[in-house]
Structure 1
Amino acid sequence: MELGMVPNSTMAKRKSPVGRIIVWSLLGVVFLIAVLNSFAIVQFGHVGLYKTLGKLSDTTLMPGIHFKFPFVQKIIQVNVQVTKAETDTSASSKDLQPVSTHVALNYSVNKESAYNLMNNIGSSFDTIIVAPAIQEIVKEVTAKYAAEDLIAKRDMVANEIRDLLTKRMSRYDLVVNDINIVNFKFSDAFNQSIEAKQVAQQQALKAENDLKRIQIEAQQTIAQAQAEAESLKLKKQEVTPDLIALKQIEVQQEAIQKWDGKLPSVTGGATPFIDVNSMTAK
């Protein structure tokens, strides 16, 4: 054997501990991954369904930690909380006015029937079922009402839409919680006609109020005139010949008190006063 040469058996013995460490490390990593994949957490507000090699199980899992076979099973989570769906729908009213309706729908998945929904429809049920149902039913209901009634009877329209959506979506185990008609949008011409009608109604109401005010003021004036006439009538009833004579005496006395002792020589066009002093002097 040549010097400096190491037998192959000796080299294998030196490498074997390192190889075993690597193998055991890989096995440990695989085991750790398998352990970590043996459990799954169903989040709050959701229910879980086992999916084994592509097949969905009808066992409903409540929120919490659940065991599953690693690399073979996985848990599908279904949101059963209230979900909001908004959509815009273009349609025509009963009087053929174009109307765009913005609707907000609150709905949820019936957790007891989550398996049926996921198995028959899948996770895209919002676009497959919910959105088309809203579009169709809103168009159906708005076509029953005139454009002005859609505004005046907004609550009635919303209730009818909710009832029809409840029946439609219950087929797929979806629960309608509430629906809101956020806005009705009409053509500019229709909006202008509505505005003109409101202005005319306001003007008519103002004219009616003005007429009522004038009537009330006239009634007040008549009542005041009647009161004054009644007062004057009572005053006339109080005037007697004795009262007239008494007033004349009072006026004469007041005139005598103010007289300075001189008689006027001429008074208007009447007969002149006689100067008593000049007659006595002669």
Structure 2
Amino acid sequence: MGKDIPSNVVSKIALVPIVILFIVIFIFVFSPFKTIESGNVGIKITLGKFDNEELMPGLHFKIPIIQDIKIVDVKVHTINYKGSQDRPDKEGLIEKPSINVLDERGLPVRIELTVQYRLIPDQASEMIQEWGWNWEDKLVNPTIRDVVRDVIGEYPAEKLPVKRQEIGVKIEEGIKKAIKNVSKNKVQVIGVQLRDIKLPPRIAQKIEEVQIAKQEAEKMKYVEEKAKKEQEVRRIKAETEKIEKIIKAEAEAEKRVKEAEGRAKARILEAEAQAKANRLLSKSIDKKILEWKEIQVQEKLMEAIKENKNNNIFLNIPQGNMHYWLNKR
């Protein structure tokens, strides 16, 4: 038979699984490693004291029980000021009631706003040490409300819709400057959007009435301007037609003048040609030709007397400038 195992050895062997289990539980509960994901930084705390140097994303070592690493979100956060009640926050999105402020005359106004901001990564440790873990509620939210209250308080309620763009710029610039100063450059405001301006009912009704009246006035003005333009078009058209008629009449008159001038010139030329022909003819006629022509006339006369014995014949004798009536009865 083999030797018996001493009881003390058996006891030690039995303790091995217990020790291993204890080590596993210790490592699981008091892990010396901490993983920091992207978009976050870590703050190492040693016996309650914060390290001033932030831990960047990655795997980091800590001494269990003595040290701890807290995760701080440094991604862009968004606050929506809308509605009348708080709503559950989502990751990176904070829901707040709309901001109630007073206008220049003390009338209540509600502002709906969206603000985007982020914690500067290398300022996280100082921010938590100075403002605590709920630094957003202590610093960001009150500062935003103060700026909105100051800006809206400069205007009467009825001017807010008209000056909306100007007011939006003032609120954005004011929030960026105020949070930068209050946080000592630890928080960066990315953007501010003025969503809506909720006015008191009677002011909103008054503005609506003014807008309706303004639209009616603009409509009437448009109708009047349209009528004036149409009248001007008709006047221009009439003047154009008148001018066209005048031009046409002048053209016709000029045409007639030119035609008359043409006819006159033609008559002058014809008269000149006739006169020239007469001059040439008178030069070409001599005494013998005239006598010959006279003989021809006398022959024709004698023939006429033979054919018409009862007619009276008037003779014109050029040489003696004498006239004779011949009566054949």
**Alignment TM class, shorter chain as reference:** 0.7 to 0.9
Q: Secondary structure at the match of 1:61?
A: coil
Q: Once the two structures are aligned, what percentage of the paired residues are identical?
A: 24
- Separation (CA, whole Å) in 2 of partners of 1:133 and 1:80: 19
- 1:181 counterpart (186, 194, 212): 194
Residue of structure 1 equivalent to 2:55: 61
Note the C-alpha offset of 1:234: 6.5
Moved more, 52-61 or 133-142: 52-61
Q: Which amino acid in 1 is paired with 2:50?
A: L
**Residue 168 (structure 2) pairs with residue 158 (structure 1):** yes
Note the C-alpha offset of 1:34: 4.1
**Residue 20 (structure 2) pairs with residue 28 (structure 1):** yes
Q: Which amino acid in 1 is paired with 2:49?
A: K
Q: Which of the two has higher C-alpha Rg?
A: 2
List alignment gaps of at least 5 residues for structure 1: 1-9, 243-282
- Separation (CA, whole Å) in 2 of partners of 1:236 and 1:45: 90
- Separation (CA, whole Å) in 1 of partners of 2:206 and 2:237: 46
List alignment gaps of at least 5 residues for structure 2: 82-97, 257-329
**Residue 225 (structure 2) pairs with residue 212 (structure 1):** yes
Note the C-alpha offset of 1:142: 0.6
**Residue 238 (structure 2) pairs with residue 225 (structure 1):** yes
Note the C-alpha offset of 1:85: 1.5
User: What does the per-residue CA deviation read over 1:221-247, in whole Å, with 9 as the maximum and x for residues that have no partner?
Assistant: 2233334445566677759xx9xxxxx
- Separation (CA, whole Å) in 2 of partners of 1:13 and 1:189: 97
Residue of structure 1 equivalent to 2:99: 89
Note the C-alpha offset of 1:189: 1.1
TM-score (normalised: structure 2): 0.63
- Separation (CA, whole Å) in 1 of partners of 2:157 and 2:147: 17
The answer to whether the 8 A contact 2:158-2:203 is kept is: no
- Separation (CA, whole Å) in 1 of partners of 2:176 and 2:244: 76
Note the C-alpha offset of 1:99: 0.8
Q: Which amino acid in 2 is paired with 1:163?
A: E
**Residue 65 (structure 2) pairs with residue 71 (structure 1):** yes
Q: Which amino acid in 2 is paired with 1:111?
A: P
**Residue 141 (structure 2) pairs with residue 131 (structure 1):** yes
Note the C-alpha offset of 1:54: 2.0
Q: Which amino acid in 2 is paired with 1:78?
A: V
**Residue 210 (structure 2) pairs with residue 200 (structure 1):** no
Q: Which amino acid in 1 is paired with 2:188?
A: V
Residue of structure 2 equivalent to 1:3: none
Note the C-alpha offset of 1:22: 4.3
Q: Cα 1:35–1:213, aligned 2, differ >3 Å: closer, same or farther?
A: same
User: What does the per-residue CA deviation read over 1:59-99, in whole Å, with 9 as the maximum and x for residues that have no partner?
Assistant: 21000000001122110111111111223211111244321
Residue of structure 1 equivalent to 2:95: none
Q: Which amino acid in 2 is paired with 1:63?
A: P
TM-score (normalised: structure 1): 0.72
- Separation (CA, whole Å) in 2 of partners of 1:236 and 1:165: 78
Tell me how many residue pairs correspond in the alignment. 230
**Residue 104 (structure 2) pairs with residue 112 (structure 1):** no
Q: Which amino acid in 1 is paired with 2:142?
A: P
Residue of structure 1 equivalent to 2:34: 40
- Separation (CA, whole Å) in 2 of partners of 1:95 and 1:161: 19
The answer to whether the 8 A contact 2:113-2:196 is kept is: yes
- Separation (CA, whole Å) in 2 of partners of 1:110 and 1:130: 14
The answer to whether the 8 A contact 2:32-2:64 is kept is: yes
User: What does the per-residue CA deviation read over 1:110-132, in whole Å, with 9 as the maximum and x for residues that have no partner?
Assistant: 11111111111111111111111
The answer to whether the 8 A contact 1:162-1:176 is kept is: no
